[in-house]
Copies of this chain bind each other. A is one copy, B any other.
Amino acid sequence: MTTEVTARSDNGVLTADSARRTTRHLLERVEHRLRDFLTAENEIWTAVDKRAPVPVGAVADLIDSGGKRLRPAFCVMGYLAAGGAPDAPGVVPAAAALEMLHACALIHDDVMDAAGQRRGAPTVHMKHSAEHRERGWQGEARRFGESVAILAGDLALIYSDRLMAEAPPALVPVWSELRAELIIGQYMDVASAAEFSVDPELSRWIALAKSGRYTIHRPLVVGATLAGATGLAAAFEEYGGAVGEAFQLRDDLLGAFGDPTETGKPAGLDFSQHKMTLLLGWAMQRDERVRDLVTTPGHDADELRDLLVATGVPDDVEKHIDELVQRGRAALDAAPMDQVWRDELGAMALRVAYRKT
């Protein structure tokens, strides 16, 4: 246990520098915890059979490939903002559990979206389908790759739970809510894409479940609960809802117009999967040519992008993101926390809303 690092500077005053240093230090410990956990599992299963650790390796590859680590970051910041002691046990495994759960969500999501790339590398199911083909194995390559991905995602879900079991039982309710919301949110996303229904209320609910709550609000509450604080719940809910919607809108914009070399995934995937994003829903309501083009098999991605720009919706989305960031930051104004953490969480709102990847 490191005792020198605290959220306050040497003379006991909390500064932006000391807050950031403590956050960074805890997030480094989260990385170590994830790596140590997966290394130990890999060793256990390697001793059984050379094939046995393959699903562990699939989870480890995804974790190692980086990512924004937003959920651990919000968990750690929620914890520190609520007055949690930097060297108390609990926050590191809880934050690691959130990232491990996210690994499950991404691996399964990529199967559901038939996504080929994630973080600039082949997705789990693509990698294993390719191996199946190269080796000329029995059965269908697609099914084999997807089976490996289903099992690797299941394993990540189980691992996330093992990590969370190291944190206090006070987390059980929020951990339960967070996970069920994630799955139901994913289902609603899949169902609304299939039905292709333009229902901005539904799209907002999905954005709230998948991004607002899962990525921001609940991780902040996990942190605050670990610190024993209850007075931040309303502020974290308001902040998480607003910044989460901004996060999702940025996701929509990056998915449509982002640079694949930066985002690590091909542009336009949402369209080919008929994802009913908020961006697309608004554009379809404004101009019926958008629906006609999106539902035309083999439509030209550039033509769709041009049409979207012509509707003016992307500009409106940018303005809405600005408003959401304002609203999220304002939600913290009256919250019982040090001004330093209000500033840090304000900076996180900017980072999330105006990210490039």
Contact = CB atoms under 8 A, between A and B. Distances in A.
Contacts of A132: 194
Contact size range, A: 35 or more
A138 B55 CA distance: 32
Contacts of A143: 112, 114
A1 interface: no
Contacts of A137: 194-196
A183 interface: yes
A135 B194 CA distance: 10
Interface of A: 41, 45, 48-49, 51-52, 54-55, 104, 108, 111-112, 114, 132, 135, 137-140, 143-144, 146-148, 150-151, 153-155, 157-158, 161-162, 165, 169, 172, 176, 179-180, 183-184, 186-188, 190-196, 202, 205, 273-274, 295
A140 B154 CA distance: 23
A202 B51 CA distance: 10
A331 B104 CA distance: 40
Given A137-B195, A165-B172, A190 B147 contact: yes
A93 to B, nearest CB: 13
A140 B112 CA distance: 10
A184 B138 contact: no
A179 B205 CA distance: 33
Given A158-B183, A184-B45, A188-B49, A274 B151 contact: no
In the A-B complex, the 5 residue pairs with the closest CB atoms? A137-B194, A112-B147, A138-B274, A158-B179, A138-B196
A187 B132 CA distance: 14
A146 B108 CA distance: 11
Contact of A176 (B49, B162, B192, B193): B162
A112 B150 contact: yes
Nearest to A195: B137
